[in-house]
Structure 1
Amino acid sequence: MNVFSSAAPAATFSSLSEADPMKQQIIDFMRDFSIETTPGSALKIPDYREHLRPGAKVAVTFLPGSDFADTIATAKRLKEEGFQPLPHFAARSIVSAAVMEENLKKLQAEVGIDEVVALGGAVDTPLGEFESSMDLLETGLFDKYGIREIGVAGHPEGSPDISPQGLKDAITWKNAFAERTGAKLYIATQFCFEAAPIIAWDRAIQAEGNKLPIHIGAPGLATIKTLINHAKACGVGPSMRFLTRQAMNVAKLMTVNAPDKLIMDLAQYRAEDPNCGIAKVHMYPLGGLKKSAAWSYAVVDGDFTMDPKGKGFKVTRDIG
């Protein structure tokens, strides 16, 4: 059973010809997806080449309380195995501009990168002089060390740490920064469980002047229990109600779910609305990288069948 949903009524397909365009929309939407890993999970993955295709973009986290040296080591390993690592720079966990510069020096000396993700970070009290990704951008250090593309945070369902006006102001500032400096920025979002709030958010920020492309966060394959735990920890908003409804049935807690309905609805939105700001999908492999990557590649390859009632699709390949 699929718990990822949209508030909009499900479309139904009266013939295969109606389903085929939708299938191509999904394939196009998932093509060139990126995925996330942590230094901790990297220790449990003998070789990323067993799960990812050459050149895949892989975001590498810098979690609260961790050592950035581990982020560098994971990025170096990914580069050596043929992938493009995207290290996270979490502002509130960086003590000073000097430390930030040293980390960039090490990354370029040991790895060689041209893209990073700049975030505020899940730390209540900043460890140093930075509070937000905007503070990191203002240092000019990313440009100094050859970073040509930067992901910055976006929150389709709001944030428990930032007011709605604060979020609006941040989007406005980031757009102005990109225009003023020529920096290539994109918005990297938290994961959500339904399409409707994402679409509403995209339209709202477009109306307010957003020009930055959006890399939308999607939860990978995981049990309902795992998804709920991650959603609570990350402050996911109203779309989590779809999970909690399912959780009322204890028997479903350990059911593995895929984000097919979410992906289908967003793919349709991107294909049908010329003003859609969503450019790519970023997968959060909450239940493990192996299955989420296998599922994503199956979708990219078209190995799935559409649900005739418009409830999503089902991957037909064995993903283990």
Structure 2
Amino acid sequence: MLFSIEVTPAVEVAKLPPNLREVSITYLPGADHRAVVAQAARLRALGHEPIPHVPARSFRDRTHLFNYLDALKSEADIRQVLLIGGSRDRPLGPFASTLDLLETGFFEGLRIGVAGHPEGMPGLSDQECDRILALKNQYARDTGTDMFVMTQWSLNVATIHAWLDRIAPFNTLPIYLGIPGPTTPAMLLKFAQICGVKTSLLGLRHQSARLGQLLTVQTPDYLVDALSDGPKGPVSDHRIDHFHIYTFGGLQRSLNWLATRPSQPLTLA
């Protein structure tokens, strides 16, 4: 069973277990890119594989983007990145999408992650989301770029299976499936509203009627178990390569839960 995890630039990472090899680093709107670089350098020094986010709509110009990537390479020896559109409503500069970032040519030689959306995106149809992911698959084939898909988080097994079925005809990229770390339904409801995970949001609103459960910490075991041994087959069929943990309940809580699951380090080619 393979797991990766997401951290913020400010969180303490010294206690991350060594077998948790891949660690993504958020880059939120308005953040200083130097904080992301510093966290990537700390993770590299500790023996982890940092995956810094590169949010298209947060860069003022090509120089801003180039300087960020140059610092990541020189100070943290990064080998992979996650390209995302970002959460800004309007681009700060000339980049509005991950495809705009790819067209710069700045990412040659890096392993590139792109976003996947089992629960869709606000303002875009499922068909349009699929079309964009298909274009990224085409880019990987045309250029020989090593790419992977890192998805938004979801709580709904049926929704995840439906998405996997839908993209199966064109997707050849490894999938890192997003799951929430242990936290309360109330906290998940908050982040579901922020992140726009519509199917999970509906389920959480239904659950919120049972007030006693809002303060109960819930773990993602049912997701991992269902998607590892569910009706569509085991993870070893490569539809899901491993699980990516979003630590809404705090990093330590997720690490404590992860210690209860069998895991092994991911070896990169």
Give 3-state SS (helix, strand or coil) of 2:31's partner. Answer: coil
User: CA separation in 2, counterparts of 1:292 and 1:200?
Assistant: 27
Residue correspondence of structure 1 range 61-80 to structure 2 within 5 A? 61-80=26-45
Looking at structure 2, the residues matched to 301 and 214 of structure 1 have their Cα atoms a distance apart, in angstroms, of: 17
AA paired with 1:33?
A: F
Of 173, 179, 183 in structure 1, the residue corresponding to residue 145 of structure 2 is: 183
Q: State TM-score, norm by structure 2.
A: 0.92
- Structure 1 residue 238, shift from structure 2 partner: 1.1
**1:58-92 per-position Cα deviation (integer Å, ceiling 9, x unaligned):** 10011111111111111111112221111000001
| Residue identity matched to 1:91 | A
Shift of residue 300, structure 1, vs aligned partner? 1.3
Alignment size in residue pairs: 263
User: CA shift at 1:54, angstroms?
Assistant: 4.8
> CA 1:288–1:234 in 2, change beyond 3 Å: closer, same or farther?
same
Instruction: Tell me how far apart the structure 1 counterparts of residues 28 and 263 of structure 2 sit (CA, whole Å).
Output: 33
Offset, 1:276: 5.3
Deviation, structure 1 residue 161: 3.7
Moved more, 236-245 or 107-116: 236-245
Does residue 263 (structure 1) correspond to residue 224 (structure 2)? The answer is yes
| 1:272 CA displacement | 4.4
Q: Please provide the CA RMSD for this pair.
A: 1.8
- Pick from 186, 192, 213: which aligns with 1:225? 186
Instruction: Quote the sequence identity (%).
Output: 38
Matches of 1:153 and 1:73, distance apart in 2: 24
Matched, 1:155 2:117: yes
* 1:161–1:80 distance in 2 versus 1, CA, 3 Å: farther
What corresponds to 2:71 in structure 1? 106
Instruction: Give 1:274 deviation, angstroms.
Output: 7.7
Rg larger in 1 or in 2? 1
Task: Tell me which amino acid in the other structure corresponds to 1:38.
Answer: T
Where 1:159 maps in the other structure, the secondary structure is coil
Equivalent residue letter for 2:213: K
1:51·1:294 contact (CA, 8 Å) conserved in 2? no
The amino acid across from 2:101 in the alignment is L
Q: Determine the structure 2 residue equivalent to 1:9.
A: none
| Matched-pair contact (CA < 8 Å) for 2:114–2:149 | yes
One-letter amino acid of the structure 2 residue matched with residue 239 of structure 1: S
Counterpart of 2:100?
A: 135
Contact conserved, 1:55 with 1:82, CA < 8 A, in 2? no
Q: Does 1:300 align with 2:265?
A: no
Q: 1:276 to 1:202 in 2, by over 3 A?
A: farther
Residue 5 (structure 2) pairs with residue 35 (structure 1)? yes
User: Which amino acid counterpart does residue 245 of structure 2 have in structure 1?
Assistant: M
User: Per the alignment, in what secondary structure is the counterpart of residue 262 of structure 1?
Assistant: helix
Change beyond 3 A, Cα 1:33–1:301: closer
| Unpaired runs of at least 5, structure 2 | 265-269
2:267 aligned partner:
none
Q: TM-score, normalised by structure 1?
A: 0.78
- 5+ residue gaps, structure 1, are 1-30, 303-320
Q: Which residue of 2 aligns with 1:195?
A: 157
Partner in structure 2 of residue 119 of structure 1: 84
Superposition pairs of residues 84-99 of structure 1, within 5 angstroms: 84-99=49-64
Change (3 A) 1:280 1:55: closer
Query: Which protein, 1 or 2, shows the higher relative CO under an 8 Å CA cutoff with sep ≥ 6?
Result: 1
C-alpha distance in 1 between matches for 2:127 and 2:234? 30
1:195-242, CA deviations, whole angstroms, 9 ceiling, x for partnerless residues? 1101110111113x1111211000000111111101110001112233
1:169 paired to 2:131? yes
In the TM superposition, what is the alpha-carbon distance from 1:96 to its structure 2 partner? 1.7
